[in-house]
Homo-oligomer: A and B are copies of this chain.
């Protein structure tokens, strides 16, 4: 990979140069300051993760006691490291930061990532000043800061991670988040549904590098196709708006906003010292810049799956395989309430139904009730043709295919039926460029066979590149936002 180091001192604002931040993601060496031999300490975990995720650069440990941690020599201070240090990860208490910064300046460090917390988010005047002064001194010396109060980078291609259960493979979704917890949840949960990431940054208090810097970078980052964010507060609204408006039409921007209410705003203040801003202003801002809003961590995952796996839709009309009678009613209601259209079956489809399900054709509609088909003389056999038509009928711009019906998984044999349905879905979906949402309910039951079957089905969907959703309501709402995004 080609990248360039840029000096940041005295440079124009980052948005003037798309990839100015490239150096942040490609350190030649990292020093963990506060490295520890105790496995439950963060200073141990960072070192361990750098080793486990295969960071190719040099790794140094800094601990006043010296010695060796995880086979890495520990230096008493950062300045004692007799080699080049590009990137510092600090896990030491806030009181030690001033001296650390001296060392960073001395060593020509480019980036300091501060797990260190208890600064501006405490709301205490002296700590707010301390954070501010630290950033000012760092910027003057050409050092960029991520955090404080953050976990930093997950960049699998470079072997950087802050969680053991994040995937080692790369992908094309970039994600920034002020919350480490949401990052842990969203990256892990979305990875189970096939999402892989270009770069993820948990940036905490955003004292220096902030949401706008990162979104602007991702907008120019060739590794990134989709930009997702969990944001508690915006620093510099004008610049933020300008960057969002530049992103419009270039890459989708999906934002989960924390602090939409007064109570939530109090929580953002003590979490990352962020001013949450008002809800109506935020909503307008999203609408004007075609930002796709997510209401919860779960919804942000649904949107990542949707934008990553689905072809662009050509309209709002949805052809549905309903799980059963009640399931068909529920899907129709959820789709209509999400402002999708649920038209009748097209004439060619009805003609085909007459042929393949001669006893059921006249009582089937859209949604197609799976249980009516199954109860017919042909059993599940007509489903192959039905799924073929549901997916291939141009009258349907979208498909929701419910394969999660509870009644199918009363016994392990039910799994075979779902596998058969999935065969037809995989076969037909390959040849059609159309958004198809597959519903698979979570395998969180006490029966081990059930958990295993759902796991197998999920695995097959992932291998086939299908978008899976845990409920019809979640799929309908995500598809609706996807269609809105495409101005349909």
Contacts and interface: CB of A to CB of B under 8 A. Distances in A.
Contact of A180 (B164, B189, B325, B333): B325
A330 interface: yes
Contact of A298 (B335, B369, B471): B471
Interface stretch (A1-9, A74-82, A237-245, A267-275): A267-275
A365 B180 contact: no
Given A181-B371, A324-B181, A329 B411 contact: no
A191 to B, nearest CB: 10
Interface stretch (A17-25, A168-176, A426-434, A441-449): A441-449
Contacts of A375: 117
Contact of A329 (B165, B259, B362): B259
Interface string A258-282: 1111111011101110000000000
Given A365-B267, A444-B443, A330 B258 contact: yes
A323 interface: yes
Contacts of A335: 263
A54 interface: no
A189 B261 contact: no
A66 interface: no
A410 interface: yes
A131 B86 CA distance: 80
A371 B180 contact: yes
Interface in A166-192: 177-185, 188-189, 192
Interface string A436-464: 00000011111100010011000000000
Nearest to A343: B263
A218 B230 CA distance: 47
Contact of A270 (B266, B337, B369, B444): B369
A111 interface: no
A264 B118 CA distance: 52
Nearest to A230: B326
Contacts of A129: none
Nearest to A442: B444
Q: Please name the 5 residue pairs, one residue from A and one from B, whose CB atoms are nearest each other, closest first.
A: A179-B326, A181-B324, A261-B336, A442-B444, A264-B333
Given A117-B375, A179-B326, A271-B369, 13 more contacts: A118-B363, A122-B362, A177-B326, A180-B326, A181-B327, A260-B337, A261-B332, A264-B332, A267-B322, A267-B365, A267-B369, A296-B334, A298-B473
18 contacts: A163-B407, A182-B324, A182-B327, A183-B326, A184-B406, A189-B406, A230-B326, A258-B326, A258-B330, A262-B336, A263-B332, A263-B336, A267-B322, A267-B328, A267-B329, A271-B325, A271-B328, A272-B325
